[in-house]
Amino acid sequence: MPHDGAVTFPTSATSPTPASPETPLTPAPSPAAPPARLTVVAGPTAVGKGTIVAALRDSHPELFVSVSCTTRAPRPGEIDGVHYRFVDDAEFDALVERGDMLEWALVHGAHRYGTPRGPVAEALAQGRPALLEIDLAGARQVRESMPDALFVFIAPPSWDALVERLVGRGTEGAAERERRLATARTEMAAADEFDVVVVNDTVERAAAELGRLLGLAPAQPGRRRAPAILPGAAG
């Protein structure tokens, strides 16, 4: 805590005894580099979490973004090992039983999603900034095991904007949309559990704010990278 006045340290009445020439001087060990901090991003369905994270990855290739496993089928344009690692129920069960999942959850009552533990631990050990884009239940699991992580909630500008986005993307039928909106109401009510709330009014602004929270340098114009398969994502 900062002090208003100067801090006075006690002094010894006698001078310290100098080391003799025969006494070898051992240099103090260099302080170890602080471990990289994990950032967990969550928010309601269709809020644009993936779009924000993709924009951040494009401009910051040093950022490690975990690729989640899921038992759902790929949507049009999704690439296995890049957007998700698509697995069947048997393979997902095996990952859970081996303890290879940092977190996992049944989402929207339909499909399971989870974060492989190994690639995240490896990235943090290398000092790379690491980010998880997961659902609310998964974020709660990670908070229990890694409470020092930074937890960021992505919120829509309004509820109507969220509904419009979900309907507009046209990837779900009416029943699935209603199920996702019911889940979204629960997720929105949990925003206070997070350290920071970022409103996705525009992707560019929200990505820039998330980058600042991660301690990333502002993106330079024109700096982009092609999508790549991240470590541990293929298989």
Task: Give the tokens for residue 66.
Answer: 């975990």
Q: What is the 3-state secondary structure (H, E, C) of 189-225?
A: CCHHHCCEEEECCCHHHHHHHHHHHCCCCCCCCCCCC
Number of residues in the chain:
235
Given this model, what pLDDT does residue 224 score?
42
| pLDDT at position 16 | 46
Res 138 pLDDT > 60: yes
Residue 89 near residue 71 (C-beta atoms within 8 A) = yes
- pLDDT at position 42 is 96
pLDDT band at 12 (very low <50, low <70, confident <90, very high): very low
d(CA 53, CA 222): 17
Least confidently predicted of 101-105, 145-149, 160-164, 214-218: 214-218
Strands 101-107 and 111-116: antiparallel
Of the candidates 104, 85, 72, the residue with the CA atom closest to the CA atom of residue 233: 85
pLDDT at 72: 96
Q: What is the pTM of this model?
A: 0.73
Q: What domains does the chain contain, in order, with CATH numbers?
A: 38-213 (3.40.50.300)
pLDDT of residue 3 exceeding 50: no
Q: What is the pLDDT of residues 109-129, one digit of tens each?
A: 889 999 999 999 999 999 999
